[in-house]
Amino acid sequence: MDTKKLHIMMKDIPHLKVENLALAIVPRFATEEAEDLWDAYIINLKDKPINSVFVNSRGYGNINGEKMRTTALRHFYDSIGPLAAMKIEPIQTRLFDLTNEYWVSFMFNGHMYDKKYVFVKGSIDQMHFTTIPFLKRKGVMIK
């Protein structure tokens, strides 16, 4: 395929920006045993549902000079309602010393969207807390 045709095809693909979607990491604190577990949530701030939601999560980095990588986890949701939060997975506090990445893809208004949410090492900390919509709890959130 010649590069001129490829360039024309590439410019015809809409590059849609993800808006009104957030990812949050929230402490459980429900029991003493759960103090080392927090939960990751996807938050739909749109007034319409998002569909065919795929979330890929992984952690990576160095701890005490040793290269570490978590298992990649994949989650699928048929739909996440408007103005709603959906729990993705638990996360252990010992993984906060890694970069934790969540890649989210979904359908909205007939278009496919995707966005990578990255919690860099040390960012999941109480000094970055905000009130998480719909959960009425404090946590760290990326829009």
Rounded distance between C-alpha atoms, residue 10 and residue 124, angstroms:
37
Q: 34 is written with which tokens?
A: 């759960």
Sequence-distant (≥ 6) Cβ neighbours of residue 16 within 8 angstroms:
111, 113
Average pLDDT over residues 25-42: 81
> Does the structure show a pLDDT above 80 at 1?
no
Mean pLDDT of 32-45: 85
- Distance, in Å, from the CA atom of 97 to the CA atom of 78, rounded to the nearest integer, reads 32
Q: Give the pLDDT band (50/70/90) at residue 92.
A: very high
Main-chain phi, psi angles of 135, to 5 degrees: -95, -25
User: Would you state the pLDDT for residue 63?
Assistant: 87
60-63 long-range contacts, CB within 8 A, separation 24+: 60/98, 60/99, 60/101, 61/97, 61/98, 61/99, 61/121, 63/97, 63/98
Q: What is the DSSP letter of 15?
A: -
pLDDT (tens digit per residue) in 68-88 = 999 999 999 999 999 999 999
pLDDT tens per residue across span 98-141: 999 999 999 999 999 999 999 999 999 999 999 999 999 999 99
Q: How far apart are the C-alpha atoms of 78 and 102, rounded to whole Å?
A: 18
The enclosing domain of 88 has a CATH number of 2.60.40
Q: What is the pLDDT of residue 22?
A: 98
Q: Look up the domain containing 59 and give its range.
A: 3-142
State the virtual CA torsion across 110, 2, 115, 14 in degrees, nearest 10: -40
Query: How many distinct structural domains can be found in the chain?
Result: 1
Q: Which two tokens stand for residue 49?
A: 């549902």
